[in-house]
């Protein structure tokens, strides 16, 4: 059979590459109707972005003047590509961000120019949420309808991987390393707080699977650690006045201190690389809070970044989808109360691609 050029597209939110890009990043984020619904969104998104920009610029200024997410994602793609090549699989890699360059549209255009015929849409959110993976896949669907209506590229989707064994081992290794940095006499007293980006309660009520998948990741990590420490799941990065999933990370830190717990290990469990939520919110904002409320030992576990076990995880996910493809069983299921018509269209679109891949691979095996 003729070799078909393969391309892996890393999908993520992205972050501003400079302080001058912050307002545009926020404007695109608040314009995303897959993420949120606002009155007169075309105009209100720009107003909200302009109002929030000074504060957010100040936060980015404290972590180096930009988001490091592109740099980390580029390193991850390069290391994964090298690892796959060592296993005899040559793939092109691409980055498609939702709110900053390189955008999904730019990545798809480059894939077509490169002659890619087998694409893997690889969500860099281990736990699926309609606000993250769902939004990215909806955007990819819109881009493909515009730029590849004849379906030159056949697509597979890695939409979630919250309990992949190498992801869990990577997290467990990083947690163990951080606990070992505590004074020996208080290591057993540590409380592990798994922190993830929160979600509006109305999204949870629609049936978004994110909270359950975050919980699955946390439970698997604790099991890998041998149930060595007590833990809780907490939620960060709430925006706006509406109710969000709790307990919030800052409230949890305050409550633990009040209840006499003085040793806390914070684990960013829904992020695959460092960015503003880890470098500013956890390392600066919550570290300062921990000091104020009387937590004596506060450790933040490193993000996955280029941890070798994590790179092996990325490689294994791609290999398994290319060598032993099985249709994602969850991807085609919409939330019970979903009101987004694009979501259903996108799921059906990728389901059709998966059916075509199954037929193609069945035909290939028959010929061989």
Which residues have a catalytic role annotated?
164, 316
SS3 162: coil
DSSP output for 79-91: HHHHHHHHTT---
Q: From CA 15, how far away is CA 21, in angstroms rounded?
A: 9
- Radius of gyration in angstroms for the set of CA atoms belonging to the chain, rounded to a whole number: 21
DSSP, res 312: H
214 Cβ neighbours under 8 A, 6+ residues apart? 127, 162, 194, 196, 233, 269, 270
Report strand pairing: 154-158 vs 231-236: unpaired
With CA atoms as reference, report the closest residue to 268 among 253, 249, 284: 249
Omega of the bond leading into 18 within 30 degrees of 0 (cis)? no
Say if CB 276 and CB 15 are below 8 A apart.
Answer: yes
Bridge-based pairing of strands 118-123 and 154-158 is parallel
Residue 5 CB: number of other CB atoms within 10 A? Answer: 15
Nearest-angstrom CA–CA distance, 140 and 88: 28
Report the alpha-carbon distance of residue 230 to residue 200 in Å, rounded: 26
**CA distance linking residue 333 with residue 329, whole number of Å:** 8
Whole-number Cα distances in Å, 332 to 9, 47, 349: 20, 35, 9
Cα 71 → chain centroid: 15
Pairing of strands 92-97, 297-300: unpaired
Q: Are 151 and 182 in contact (CB under 8 A)?
A: no
């Amino acid at each position: 059979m003729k070799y078909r050029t393969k391309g892996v597209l890393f999908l993520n939110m992205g972050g501003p590459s400079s302080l001058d890009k912050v307002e545009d990043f926020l404007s695109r984020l608040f314009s995303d109707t897959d993420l949120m619904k606002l009155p007169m969104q075309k105009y209100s998104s720009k107003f909200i972005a302009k109002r929030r920009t000074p504060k957010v610029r100040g936060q980015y200024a404290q972590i180096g003047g930009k988001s490091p997410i592109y740099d980390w994602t580029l390193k991850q793609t390069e290391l994964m590509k090298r690892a796959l090549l060592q296993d005899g699989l040559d793939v092109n890699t691409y980055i498609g961000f939702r709110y900053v360059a390189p955008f999904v549209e730019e990545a798809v255009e480059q894939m077509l120019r490169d002659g890619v015929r087998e694409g893997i849409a690889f969500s860099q959110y281990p736990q699926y949420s309609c606000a993250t993976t769902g939004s990215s896949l909806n955007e990819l669907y819109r881009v493909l309808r515009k730029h590849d209506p004849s379906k030159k590229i056949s697509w597979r989707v890695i939409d979630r991987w919250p309990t992949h064994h190498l992801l869990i081992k990577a997290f467990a290794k990083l947690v163990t390393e951080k606990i070992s940095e505590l004074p020996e006499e208080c290591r057993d007293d540590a409380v592990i707080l798994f922190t993830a980006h929160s979600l509006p309660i109305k999204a949870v009520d629609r049936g978004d699977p994110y909270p359950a998948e975050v919980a699955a990741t946390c439970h698997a990590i604790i099991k890998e650690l041998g149930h060595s420490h007590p833990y809780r799941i907490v939620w960060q990065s709430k925006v706006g006045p509406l109710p969000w999933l709790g307990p919030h990370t800052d409230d949890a830190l305050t409550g633990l201190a009040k209840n006499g717990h003085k040793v806390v290990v914070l684990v960013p469990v829904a992020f695959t690389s460092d960015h503003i939520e880890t470098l500013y919110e956890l390392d600066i904002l919550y570290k300062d809070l921990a000091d104020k409320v009387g937590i004596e030992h506060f450790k933040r576990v490193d993000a996955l970044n280029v941890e070798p076990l994590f790179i092996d995880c990325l490689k294994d996910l791609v290999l398994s989808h290319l060598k032993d493809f099985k249709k994602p069983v969850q991807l085609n299921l919409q939330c019970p109360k979903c009101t987004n018509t694009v979501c259903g269209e996108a799921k059906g679109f990728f389901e059709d691609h998966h059916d075509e891949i199954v037929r193609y691979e069945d035909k290939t095996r028959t010929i061989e």
